[in-house]
Amino acid sequence: MANISPLAGKTLDQSQLTDISALIAAYYDRKPDVSIPTQRVSFGTSGHRGSSFHTSFNEGHILAICEAICRYRKAEGIDGPLFIGIDSHALSAPAQRSAIEVFAAHDIDVRIDQNDGYTPTPVISHAILTYNKGRTTGLADGVVVTPSHNPPTDGGFKYNPTNGGPADTAVTKAIQDMANDLLADGLKDVKRLPYDEAKNAPSIKRYDYVTPYVADLENVIDMAAIRDAGVKIGIDPLGGAAVGYWKPIVEKYGLNATIVSDVVDPQFAFMTADWDGQIRMDCSSPYAMARLIKMGQDFDVAFANDTDADRHGIVAMPDGLMNPNHYLAVAVSYLFQNRPEWKPDLGVGKTLVSSGLIDRVVADMGRKLVEVPVGLKWFVPGLMDGSLGFGGEESAGATFLRRDGSVWTTDKDGLILGLLAAEITAKTGKNPSQHYHEIIARLGTPYYARIDAAANPEQKAKLSKLAPEQFPLEELAGDKIIAKLTKAPGNGAAIGGLKVVTENGWFAARPSGTEDVYKIYAESFKSPAHLKAIQDEAQAAISKVFAS
């Protein structure tokens, strides 16, 4: 990764931390101007995100989004409860207050945490699915207030419809466009109650999120095996939404586990800075995970979650922090050989920028690979109908079916991926890192990297609409090209870019949705030098496409 900051892996000085009072004041004081693109409501792959300091996540945005959600629910006939959860970012609680003001005014049956605590993204998905099971009317949906692993300055707000997963692009576009129209009109058509009145409205109900989720875990993970083997586990919630879940899990199932920290701090002062010197609760970053990596020798296996607990970071010797792609390959290999109740024709879902090692593991087991564009939302139908056993993406997010083969969550669940690492260790006597080295000894060692390259808006638009025949190369880094993809082979959906595949490597190029760059994901099964050749030739060829 380029330009590693001298602050990477270190805790920051107080003067470098976020001013939380100023951040929250800006949430209420700054008014977004929809004529400025960066101040509009914009739903990416994981909802609307931004910072109140940049007037990209403010009270006006949340009021407009919630009014749009209320209208969407009414138009779709969704009239069951709306489950809402927040993470520990400073802007999450103010955004939930704004949401309650609108939802109460619309008399929507809202369920908030009974102790005003934090609720992980997968727990909201689990709550929606368990409520809706067996129902055809009065279905529930949900909202998660989180910017995921983003810095402390950021806020996020995402909508999960009745299938429990991230809303698809048609839904988010409808909500986004309606919200921007409401903002442009000065929010005058937004229904809203004063907060003190709203929070006491009969439709706003307290709900125990912790107990049902914790009690159900034994139906997706072999918790008894972990307990009986006495696996020594280290757990770091990174000050996020899982902080109130791990103690009940450890106590209920009698695990030999240490929660290394239960500190919650909106400045995240305890975090070590990420590669660029920013605080970021990214459990796949060795810089952000420095504390747990240092303690890794003390445990058989250790893991962490990001702030809304939809991602996982696995620490196991000899590797220390495992590359997310490496752990996903191990998880797939283990699950499909240790879930006897799963159907023999279950497929394995992966995003097309995830490692080709997963492809090799799936082929080795004689299973079906389902490769989709970036975003967990693409796995939702397969998880719901039981045709996919697993869905994962390279950014350390995944979920899988219950032990009986029925749906668990349709959003990423970092808690079960951490517990799965403990189950693997308990049942096999080897940790996931040891399993990874056994897999690559048979199937080949992957060398994987992602880099960013400059691209202006016109170039990004050209890349997103590229046709395979516009990419004239027949060879890549000395190997014959066997596929040029602009649609995902698993579902035929446009990937918004290009993927080029050879027998020994591949690259995928996609424009960034937020910056003037495009991302090049690349992998070689030969060597780091071969990976560099793939990256260089990909960049050169795409530059020619831009110039044409």
Distance, CA of 386 to CA of 383 (rounded, Å): 5
C-alpha distances in angstroms, 220 versus 41, 278, 309, 358, 408?
36, 35, 17, 22, 7
Q: How many CA atoms lie within 13 A of 270 on its CB side?
A: 14
Partners of 235 in the beta sheet? 259, 303
Distance, CA of 386 to CA of 406 (rounded, Å): 6
Distance, CA of 119 to CA of 127 (rounded, Å): 11
Three-class SS of 68-108: HHHHHHHHHCCCCCEEEEECCCCCHHHHHHHHHHHHHHCCC
Q: Are 421 and 316 within 8 A, CB to CB? A: yes
Exactly one of 148, 354, 464, 524 is catalytic; name it.
Answer: 148
Distance, CA of 75 to CA of 544 (rounded, Å): 47
Among this protein's residues, is 148 annotated catalytic? yes
Distance, CA of 542 to CA of 208 (rounded, Å): 52
Task: Order across the sheet with 388-393: list the strands.
Answer: 368-372, 347-351, 388-393, 397-400
Q: How far is CA 238 from the centre of its chain?
A: 15
Give the pair of three-digit tokens for residue 325.
């792609």
Distance, CA of 379 to CA of 388 (rounded, Å): 8
Q: Are 142 and 232 within 8 A, CB to CB? A: no
Secondary structure E strands in 289-396 = 301-305, 312-316, 320-321, 347-351, 368-372, 388-393
Which residue type does 346 have?
L
Q: 1, 16, 91: which is closest to 51 by C-alpha?
A: 91
Partners of 483 in the beta sheet? 501
Q: 332, 100, 322: which is closest to 200 by C-alpha?
A: 100
Q: Which residues are known catalytic residues?
A: 148
